[in-house]
Structure 1
Amino acid sequence: MPRVQLPAVTPKRKAWNKGRIIGQKRPLFPKQVWAIRARLELASYPRDLTLFNVAIDSKLRGCDLVKLTVTDLVKGDRVRERVLVIQSKTKKPVQFELTENTRDSVLLWVKSPEMFACQFMFPSRFHDRPHISTRQYGRLVRDWVTSIGLEPSAYGTHSLRRTKAAEIYRKTGNLRAVQLLLGHTKVDSTVRYLGVELEDALSIAEGIDI
């Protein structure tokens, strides 16, 4: 009886994203921001508190946030209220504001013994790196959101970049302002980034009478 050659069966690989939440990471709500901030203050983590506050205010990508220098944020013995940096991705300048709460944490951090003779705002503890890496920043973000009971896979470094921008858009509906604050070259990018839906746009339009 002739032998029947059966087709080879390739074992199915587990999908890399099985069980994971993918897509855009959620922004934090104001109460979640304050919950994380309070935990960092109580734990006496001045570096992490400063990093968190600056991340929320600056709306910077992680690659630009970790490279901030002391002179970017501090002039003399005062913390700047407004800061201008060149974005790594677009090579274009973007400005951001530092609120009073953030300025206080920046000043305390730069005056701490750990920051003696440091060039970067968030120096690495490894001698071969001048500042923390984006990967380390990502791990910190996961720790922060987990500490207040959030699902870490739903949040990431872009959550902090989107948080204040999303709140500004929610309160004003001004996409152009958010576009400038995020440093986007096209407003279409801002629409996609914020996840603006037609229903959102119609709700804003309904509130405007001319």
Structure 2
Amino acid sequence: MTTVPMSGRRAQAARNDEVILDAARDVFVADPGAPIAAVAQKAGVGISALYRRYPSKEELLSKLCLDGLLVYVGIAEQANAELDAGADPAETFTTFMRRIVDADTHSLTQRLAGTFHPTQEHNRNAVRAGELNQHLVDRLLEAEVVRPDLAVADLGLVFEMIAAIRFGDDERRGQLRHRYLALLLAGLLLPEASPLPGPAPYPGEFAGRWIKTP
């Protein structure tokens, strides 16, 4: 399939959009209550140019979280495809966890849940992510490479715990996140470990955070 190159104006618009989204992620992960003007300032664009692309802060937050969700879905699809192709389950799980940590999708979840009204596209992809997670965990349990009491909902909180490490520069933050991911993986990949205290998150405990309050 041949890709039709974008015109100069469209290519510039795409670059501007990427700059805006990168700036918005940095600004709102640091402070979800920051004004949209802070995004324009960090991106180096005029506020009118930003509003032409995203008429409201809520639309910008919505776009950020949808993009993060799509990244998660893509990584989960890749892990399931690798298992289907005969990859080692323990290695596939470890690689999946590392890819999600590197993508840092859960910083968005942690900081932006409840700040906008999810759309049907958000909900559809959230369902897809849940299905992929369930399929992955079922395969891992069947292969007996993870502890038998691992629940799908445990993964979300593991990723959020890792995402809570936000100090240091990018390199140091990455080192620390992977250090503590390794410690957590040691507990997940040991089926003979003692039972976990307390139940996994209940249905609705995650989803309830996305209900925007007045």
Higher relative contact order (CA 8 A, sep 6+): 1
Give the helix-richer structure, 1 or 2.
Answer: 2
**Which structure is larger by alpha-carbon Rg, 1 or 2?**
1
Normalising by structure 1, we get a TM-score of 0.24
Normalising by structure 2, we get a TM-score of 0.24
Give the strand-richer structure, 1 or 2.
Answer: 1
